[in-house]
């Protein structure tokens, strides 16, 4: 799968193909852009307005309503850790403590931050974590360390 790191015509086309027949596509489109780029750039907002026939005020209203969405990149990407029941009972709280410690210790808190979410739809493989559009299940502290190293290598 292509990984998009900036807004571009191919990214716009990818989203068009993915959501062209879906009703209520605004939120999933915004999530995909936010997850891939770490924010929703102005060019993406213009594209969404044109393709979904929405006004800029409507799209801006949704972006500012949900705290998941940012119009400016703060330089960090989210590590979404599920805190819902199935993941909690499989150790997500311990995992969050581990991630916080790890990010602080090695200084990667300038690149990543933890975001608590409530169910990533991957309950059978809890605890679940999502980084940059990719969903991971059965994430132990050791596995997380490995995934973080991999993620940093991919974007170095
Ligand atoms: S409870 Fe964590 S993925 Fe559903």
Give pLDDT tens digits for 12-24.
Answer: 999 999 999 899 9
Cα of 49 to ligand 1 centre, how many Å? 32
Residue 68: pLDDT band (50, 70, 90) is: confident
Query: Which mutation among 126, 130, 135, 136 tests ligand 1's pocket best, with the greatest number of atoms within 8 A of CB?
Result: 126
Residues with CB under 6 A from ligand 1: 82, 84-87, 119-123, 126, 128
List pLDDT tens digits, range 78-104: 899 999 999 999 999 999 999 999 999
Q: Domain spans of the chain? A: 9-65, 77-154
Q: Which two tokens stand for residue 110?
A: 């300038």
Helix (H, G, I), strand (E, B) or coil at 96: helix
Each residue's pLDDT tens digit, 97-133: 999 999 999 888 888 888 888 899 999 999 999 987 7
Going by C-alpha positions, the residue among 67, 64, 147, 141 that lies closest to residue 112 is 147
- For the chain, the average pLDDT equals 90
Mutate to test the pocket of ligand 1, among 91, 122, 130 (most ligand atoms within 8 A of CB): 122
The answer to whether residue 155 scores a pLDDT higher than 80 is: no
Whole-angstrom Cα distance, residue 78 to residue 94?
Answer: 18
Query: DSSP assignment of 125-155, as one string?
Result: G-S-EEETTEEE-S--HHHHHHHHHHHHHHT
Q: Report whether 103 contacts 114 (CB < 8 A).
A: yes
Q: Which of 90, 123, 137 to mutate to test the pocket of ligand 1 (most atoms within 8 A of CB)?
A: 123
- Distance (Å) from CA 43 to ligand 1 centroid: 33
pLDDT at 66 over 80: yes
CA of 127 to the centre of ligand 1 (A): 7
Q: What percent of the chain lies above the pLDDT cut of 90?
A: 65
In a 13 Å sphere around the CA of 96, the CA atoms on its Cβ side amount to 16
Q: Which CATH architecture has domain 77-154?
A: 3-Layer(aba) Sandwich (3.40)
């Amino acid at each position: 799968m292509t990984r998009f790191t900036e807004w571009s015509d191919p990214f716009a086309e990818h989203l068009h193909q993915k959501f062209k027949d879906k009703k209520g596509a605004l939120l999933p489109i915004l999530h995909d852009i936010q997850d891939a780029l770490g924010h929703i750039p102005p060019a993406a907002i213009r594209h969404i307005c044109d393709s979904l026939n929405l006004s800029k005020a409507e799209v801006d209203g949704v972006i500012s309503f949900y705290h998941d969405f940012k119009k400016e990149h703060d330089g960090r990407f989210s590590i979404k850790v599920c805190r819902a029941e199935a993941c909690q009972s499989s150790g997500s709280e311990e995992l969050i403590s581990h991630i916080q410690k790890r990010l602080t210790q090695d200084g990667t808190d300038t690149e990543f931050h933890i975001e608590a979410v409530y169910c990533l739809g991957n309950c059978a493989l809890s605890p679940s974590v999502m980084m940059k559009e990719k969903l991971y299940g059965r994430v132990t502290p050791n596995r997380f360390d490995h995934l973080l190293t991999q993620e940093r290598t991919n974007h170095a």
